Amino acid sequence: MQIIKIFIILNLLLNFVLANDKEIENIFQKKQIDGTLVLSSLNSDKEFIYNKNRALTQYIPASTFKVLNTLISLEEEVIKDEYETIKWDGKKRFYEPWNKDQNLQSAISFSCVWCYQKFAKELGNDKYLFYLKKLHYGNEKTGLDVTTFWLEGDVKISAYEQIDFLKKLYKNDLPFKQRNIDITKKILTVEETKNYIIKAKSGWSGKIGWYIGYIKTNSNVWFFALNADITKDQLKYRKQIVLEALKTKKIINVNN
């Protein structure tokens, strides 16, 4: 009985250490950001986690939902491919890159809200609910307004659930045509070198900031999901924290 108790205690201590990676914690503390980060390997069970309790907590996905939104919009043919023009409505918005015609590549790169609102009006709430339930995406809810539910509605998802979704995307294990999965993966590319490729999407709800995606190196694929309490002036830290963590954990070689 004593041996069993010792084993339980050691296991709890091990889980605590794994769930509170000190190197990643130092990165958050240095930038004075309260959040969580999960780094998860494709080829093994290896994970680096900071703030596991928060990683299990669901938050509004903000513009990270555009990954799934792209898949749904392609599958339902409200947009043909990454080259089709999305006509600007002529309304001036606060972010200058939005004030022109777009395509899927620019819409995801600039996180163009009006583009995806246009898709949402064509898709309708029932269609979103169908896919959210089919994919078990977060809490499978939408909200009162089909054009803003991912920004200020009822849908919520955790960092761990984001990792699970990204792994299925990478492994082509989602109920979408392969062509549509390939297009989505293609337009998520944010950085490419001879040693690695990063595919990612940021998000911000006005309170919660996200940076999710994966990095494919010559030897492995690592998935990442960060969420944090972020102000507008701190938005740059989303990507910075992830990149610093990838370098600290030797997933990215500092000489790359």
For 32, phi then psi, to 5°, come to 55, 50
* Angle in degrees, CA 150, 215, 160, rounded to 5: 45
> How many Cα atoms within 13 Å fall on the side-chain side of residue 144?
1
Q: Is 44 a catalytic residue?
A: no
Partners of 214 in beta bridges:
199, 223
Q: Which residues are within 8 A (CB) of 115 and not within 5 positions of it... i.e. 6 or more apart?
A: 86, 102, 107
Of 147, 167, 165, 169, nearest to 157 by C-alpha is 165
Catalytic, out of 40, 63, 111, 202: 63
Catalytic residues: 63
